[in-house]
Amino acid sequence: MSEGNSTSPAGFRAAGLRVIRGEGQRREEPLASRDAVARVLMEAGADMLLRRITPARAGEIERKVDRILDLFDRVDAAPVLMPVLRRHLDELEALMRETREVRAARR
């Protein structure tokens, strides 16, 4: 890569990486997909490792995520189960809201 084509001030640009400007606030995304639910699990794991939540709470989140991911698969085969999946997603969203409040109080 030549320096003349670079977009960074120092003349260096890491391949495949770019900075996304945020507002300093994390946006809470609705739990509407498998990916969003998986991110909840990663968030809980990071919070547990950083001791912002207890292992018991992280375990509860993990159990709910496992159940929801299973329900996503079952809904693909039997769409009639969608209300059950929606109820479990709502419960996980409520648990995560509570978890984030607990985490914020510990800071």
> What's the mean pLDDT when you consider all of the chain?
83
Tell me how far apart the alpha carbons of residues 32 and 16 are, in angstroms, rounded to a whole number.
28
pLDDT of residue 2 exceeding 50: no
Q: Report pTM.
A: 0.70
pLDDT digit string, tens, across residues 51-102:
888 999 999 999 999 999 999 999 999 999 999 999 999 999 999 998 888 7
Contact 26, 43 (CB under 8 A): no
Gyration radius from the chain CA atoms: 19
What is the mean pLDDT of the segment spanning 39-53?
A: 92
Confidence of residue 18 (pLDDT cuts 50, 70, 90): confident
pLDDT of residue 11 exceeding 60: no
Nearest to 45 by CA among 60, 64, 27, 58: 58
pLDDT of residue 3 exceeding 60: no
pLDDT above 70 covers a percentage of the chain that reads 77
Surface-to-core class of residue 61, CB atoms within 10 Å of its CB (0-12 exposed, 13-18 middle, 19+ buried): buried
Give kind and range of the element (H or E) at residue 89: helix 82-106
Q: What is the pLDDT of residue 101?
A: 84
